[in-house]
Amino acid sequence: MIRKFFSNRSGNFAIMSAILTLPLVLSAGLAIDYARYSASHRHLQELADAASLALAASKEQNREKLEKMANDVIAANRDPSRLASVSVASLVATADDIDLELDGDIPATIMSIAGYDRLPSKASALAERAVRGNVEVALILDNTWSMSETDAKGASKIATLKTASARLVDELMQTEDGVVRIGLVPYADYVNVGTQHRGASWLEVGADYTTTPAPRTCEWKDVTTNVCDRYTDWRMCTRTVDGVSEEYRCRDCAVPLRPVTTYKEVCTGGGNGTAYKWYGCVGSRRTSDNRLHDKNPSVRYPGFLATAYRCPNPIVTLTSSKSTLKTAINDMVINRDGTAYRPLTYIPAGLIWGLNVLSPGAPFEDSQEYDDRNLKPRKVAVLMTDGVNTLRFNSSNGQHPTLSTTEVTRQNQLNQTNNDTKAICDYMKTKNIEIFSIAFMVDDATAKSILEYCATDAEHYYDATDSDALLAAFSGIGSSLRVVRLAR
Q: What is the pLDDT of residue 165?
A: 97
Highest mean pLDDT: which of 146-160, 167-181, 222-236? 222-236
Is 408 or 479 the better-scoring residue by pLDDT? 408
Q: What is the pLDDT of residue 1?
A: 62
Domain segments of the chain: what residues? 2-130, 135-208+282-486, 217-268
In angstroms and rounded to an integer, the radius of gyration of the C-alpha atoms of the chain is 36
- Binning pLDDT at 50, 70 and 90, where does residue 299 land? very high
CA distances from 192 to 283, 297, 394 (A): 9, 18, 18
Q: What is the pLDDT of residues 20-32, one digit of tens each?
A: 555 555 555 566 7
CATH class belonging to 135-208+282-486: alpha beta
CA distances from 179 to 57, 137, 225, 327, 365 (A): 21, 11, 68, 20, 18
**pLDDT at 374 > cutoff 60:** yes
Distance of CA 218 to the CA centre of its chain: 60
Q: What is the pLDDT of residue 121?
A: 84
CA distances from 291 to 304, 370, 424, 427 (A): 16, 20, 8, 11
**pLDDT at 266 > cutoff 60:** yes
| Contact between 185 and 315 (Cβ < 8 Å) | yes
Largest CA distance in the chain: 157
Q: What is the pLDDT of residue 33?
A: 61
**pLDDT at 16 > cutoff 60:** no
Q: What is the pLDDT of residues 426-438, one digit of tens each?
A: 999 999 999 999 9
Q: What is the pLDDT of residue 82?
A: 87
Highest mean pLDDT: which of 23-37, 149-163, 452-466? 452-466
